[in-house]
A and B are shown apart, each in its own frame.
Chain A
Amino acid sequence: GNSVTQMEGPVTLSEEAFLTINCTYTATGYPSLFWYVQYPGEGLQLLLKATKADDKGSNKGFEATYRKETTSFHLEKGSVQVSDSAVYFCALIEDYKLSFGAGTTVTVRA
Chain B
Amino acid sequence: NAGVMQNPRHLVRRRGQEARLRCSPMKGHSHVYWYRQLPEEGLKFMVYLQKENIIDESGMPKERFSAEFPKEGPSILRIQQVVRGDSAAYFCASSPAGTANEKLFFGSGTQLSVL
B-side contacts of A98, CB under 8 Å: 35, 43, 45, 100
- Cα of A103 to Cα of B42 in the assembled complex, Å: 6
A-side contacts of B98, CB under 8 Å: 95-96
Q: Are A46 and B3 in contact (CB under 8 A)?
A: no
- Cα of A43 to Cα of B109 in the assembled complex, Å: 7
Size of chain A's interface in residues, with CB distance under 8 A? 23
Given contacts A96-B99, A96-B100, A98-B100, contact A44 B45 (CB under 8 A): no
Given contacts A41-B108, A43-B91, A43-B109, contact A93 B100 (CB under 8 A): yes
A-side contacts of B42, CB under 8 Å: 4, 89, 91, 99-103
Categorize the interface residue count of chain B: 20 to 34
Q: Are B104 and A46 in contact (CB under 8 A)?
A: yes
- Cα of A57 to Cα of B54 in the assembled complex, Å: 33
Decide if A26 is an interface residue (CB 8 Å cutoff).
no
Q: B108's contact among A36, A42, A97, by CB below 8 Å, is which?
A: A42
Identify which of residues 38-70 in chain A touch chain B, using a CB-to-CB cut-off of 8 Å.
41-46, 49
Decide if B74 is an interface residue (CB 8 Å cutoff).
no
Given contacts A43-B3, A96-B98, A96-B99, contact A89 B43 (CB under 8 A): yes
Chain A interface SS verdict (over half): strand
Q: Say how far B53's CB is from chain A's closest CB, in angstroms.
A: 14
Decide if A34 is an interface residue (CB 8 Å cutoff).
yes
Q: Are A102 and B41 in contact (CB under 8 A)?
A: yes
Residue of A nearest to B40 (CB): A102
- Cα of A32 to Cα of B102 in the assembled complex, Å: 12
B-side contacts of A95, CB under 8 Å: 98-99
Identify which of residues 27-82 in chain B touch chain A, using a CB-to-CB cut-off of 8 Å.
31, 33, 35, 40-45, 48, 56, 59
Q: Are A43 and B4 in contact (CB under 8 A)?
A: yes
Q: B100's contact among A4, A34, A89, A101, by CB below 8 Å, is which?
A: A34
Listed A/B pairs (23) with beta-carbon separation below 8 Å: A4-B42, A41-B108, A43-B3, A43-B4, A43-B91, A43-B108, A43-B109, A44-B91, A44-B106, A45-B105, A45-B106, A46-B104, A49-B101, A49-B102, A96-B33, A97-B45, A97-B59, A97-B100, A99-B42, A99-B45, A100-B35, A102-B42, A103-B42
